[in-house]
Structure 1
Amino acid sequence: MKTRRQLREHCYKLLFCTGFHSEEEIPEQIDNYFGEPKEKDETPEGDGEVLHNPEMDSDSRIYVTEKVQKILAVIPELDGKINGIAKGWKTTRMGKEELTILRLALYEMLYEEDTPEKVSINEAVELAKKYGGDDSPKFVNGILAKLV
């Protein structure tokens, strides 16, 4: 089984992907996520770059799928809490990367008793550093700190 950090990152990626599709398409998107590795077209040098390769055991796959489905089920609640404390920002104006990270972290803070809030916040900041813009870590940290 993958580490909690790796599983969280897969949850982020899958949750991010679902944000571009209708509710009816989500089961297909989950299947696509765990499908064959995706590669860019080959370069003139003849090599390709693997864009996505979610190799994981069935327990990890089940964990990621179930967690994402649980998060999707409570998005209105999560967004309501985020909108309630994000001064000058509404979830409709936030970047998809930051919003997805906030939803994931807030879900963990509210529903996963075995994950300390500080861990959820720290992991969210790390995801923001990796996937967001220059100001994303500070933005994510600021919002989540107000929710503690």
Structure 2
Amino acid sequence: MTRREAREQAFQILFEQAVTGAKIDDILHDASEARDFIPNSFAEEVAFGVEENSQQIDSVISQHIRGWSLHRLSKVALALLRLAVYEMLFDDSIPTSVSINEAVELAKMYGGKEDAPYINGVLATVDKVLNGEKNHA
């Protein structure tokens, strides 16, 4: 499985969590029983990482969605922003440009026509802020 496919799996898990509010453990258990879903280790690591760091991730997202709240975002956009911000904050092995590009590409596949440009804009702003913090550290 490619990293892109694993990231898509992670998105699907996070999307289900955004819709249902269920715990990642429960989603994975139910998915494996109902549809023989076996997550890639990267997908699982990301999903659990987002869940474990959800307050920090949602705080970063909230600071950059001017005029919006997390509850107003589409579930696709919310899941993709959480995925990308997790990677940007916690996985130094993935270039930020890759995290942003992959989130935008998944938004084109799964979201509405407004999701991809919106996600791109939010993540570009997050990137600028994070890089500014890293350069001043």
Query: 1:120-131, aligned counterparts within 5 Å?
Result: 120-131=99-110
Q: Please, which of 76, 91, 116 is the counterpart of residue 95 of structure 2?
A: 116
Structure with higher helix content = 2
RMSD of aligned Cα (Å): 1.8
| 2:68 is the counterpart of 1:89 | yes
Q: Distance in 1 between matches of 2:114 and 2:59?
A: 23
What is the CA distance between 1:34 and its match in structure 2?
A: 2.7
Number of residue pairs aligned between Structure 1 and Structure 2: 127
What is the CA distance between 1:85 and its match in structure 2?
A: 1.6
SS of the equivalent of 1:108 reads helix
Structure 1 unmatched runs, 5+: 38-52
Change (3 A) 1:26 1:108: closer
What is the CA distance between 1:20 and its match in structure 2?
A: 3.1
Q: Which has the larger radius of gyration?
A: 1
| 2:42 is the counterpart of 1:63 | yes
What is the CA distance between 1:54 and its match in structure 2?
A: 3.9
What is the CA distance between 1:89 and its match in structure 2?
A: 1.1
What is the CA distance between 1:129 and its match in structure 2?
A: 0.2
What is the CA distance between 1:63 and its match in structure 2?
A: 3.0
SS of the equivalent of 2:33 reads coil
| 2:126 is the counterpart of 1:140 | no
User: Between the two proteins, what is the percent identity of the paired residues?
Assistant: 34
TM (norm. structure 2) is 0.84
Indicate the residue corresponding to 2:85 in structure 1.
106
Structure 2 unmatched runs, 5+: 128-137
